[in-house]
Amino acid sequence: MTSVYDENGKNIPCTVIQAGPCIVTQVRTKETDGYEAIQLAFEEKKEKHTTKALQGHFKKAKTTPKRFVAEFTRFEEKKNYGDVLTVDVFVEGEYIDVVGTSKGKGFQGVVKRYNFKGVNDATHGQHNRMRAPGSIGASSYPSRVFKGMRMAGRMGGNRVKLINLQVVKIIPEKDVIIVKGAVPGPNNSYVKIERWS
Amino acid sequence: MGKNELIKMVEDTVAVKDFPKFKAGDTITVTYKIKEGSKERLQKFQGVVLQRVGGGPTATFTIRKISGNVGVERIFPISSPFLEEIVVNKVGVVRRARIFYFRNLRGKKARIKEKRM
């Protein structure tokens, strides 16, 4: 993340995203697949790192192997194999959704994972119970712990979608967009950008 | 790990004015623009630099002054377009980069040794 200034001198926290060029590597149609979508591929990959099956897949679109592939629905205009999409699809000031994988946090207790309060009192009998979850249910009825009870466990690494992030600026020469606020995931990770309109 | 090249590219477009060098413990005067309705005027803030944070155009600094009997602190982004001028009044001699202990000092104790040029 970094920050830029708008015309009023206001400091805007923002994320820089390389948003292209993306190449159409597959077109799904109602007749063959039962639904309409296009598959976009992004970033070069060495051919020796690509399986034979994927090499054939990219050859069909007459392009080199790519690292990241994602499917998109709701495209208004028709796209063909090998079409290149750049940041021209975005408009400055519009709102987009960003889908990514959040940073893994490892095995975490309930205070960090579910925002439990913990015990707010250091005295009155507490000595190692400060971040404990407390009761997880009643006794003889139901005699079991309900499914979905929030407990300690693996946190992060989930698919996260952030909606309504504003496109602050577009740099067409570099295929870069600048988005207001943070996006899920660590630096240099891949995200999917969607738009309702 | 170095900074991401894309971020660097964006940060290069943010202009940072040429200000004199200053560090924690120095006394500086910051002149900055204030918008009141449609009018713009300049205001000065003189105080002791508590810390400098970060690098590049996202860096900030904190200055503190005593106004009346109340401590007032202000944080300025170094690349803020409202910053007009920074004048270094005194170069202080302090041993740390962030002098938060200065907040707890009052009166005669709240003095910083000055480096004579």
Give A16 to chain B, closest Cα distance, Å. Answer: 6
pLDDT digits (tens, 9 = 90+) for B32-56: 999 888 899 999 999 999 999 998 8
Q: B76 CB near a chain A CB, below 8 Å?
A: no
pLDDT digits (tens, 9 = 90+) for A128-156: 889 999 999 999 999 999 999 999 999 99
Q: How confident is the model at residue A185 (pLDDT cuts 50, 70, 90)?
A: very high
The percent of residues above 90 in pLDDT, for chain B, comes to: 62
Pick the residue from chain A with its C-alpha nearest to B56: A2
Residue with tokens 């994988």: A101
Q: A152 CB near a chain B CB, below 8 Å?
A: no
pTM score: 0.82
Weakest-pLDDT range from A70-74, A141-145, A150-154, A159-163? A70-74
| CB B89 within 8 Å of CB B68 | no
Region B12-39 average pLDDT: 90
**How confident is the model at residue B1, as a pLDDT?**
44
Query: A2-104+161-195 belongs to which CATH class?
Result: alpha beta
Question: What does the alpha-carbon distance between residue B58 and residue A6 come to, in Å, rounded to a whole number?
Answer: 14
Residue spans of the domains in chain A: they are 2-104+161-195, 108-156
Residue with tokens 């309702």: A196
Q: B13 CB near a chain A CB, below 8 Å?
A: yes
Distances (CA, A) of A157 to A104, A107, B4: 4, 11, 22
Other Cβ atoms less than 10 A from the Cβ of A153: the count is 12
Question: What does the alpha-carbon distance between residue B86 and residue B81 come to, in Å, rounded to a whole number?
Answer: 13
Question: What does the alpha-carbon distance between residue B116 and residue B91 come to, in Å, rounded to a whole number?
Answer: 8
Cis peptide preceding B77, ω within 30 of 0: no
Give A127 to chain B, closest Cα distance, Å. Answer: 32
Weakest-pLDDT range from A41-55, A56-70, A151-165, B2-16? B2-16
Region A3-20 average pLDDT: 89
Residues B73-79: contacts with CB under 8 Å, at least 24 apart? B73/B47, B74/B30, B74/B45, B74/B47, B76/B30, B76/B32, B77/A3, B77/A11, B78/B16, B78/B19, B79/A5, B79/B14, B79/B15, B79/B16
Question: What does the alpha-carbon distance between residue B26 and residue B117 come to, in Å, rounded to a whole number?
Answer: 13
ipTM score assigned to the predicted complex: 0.77
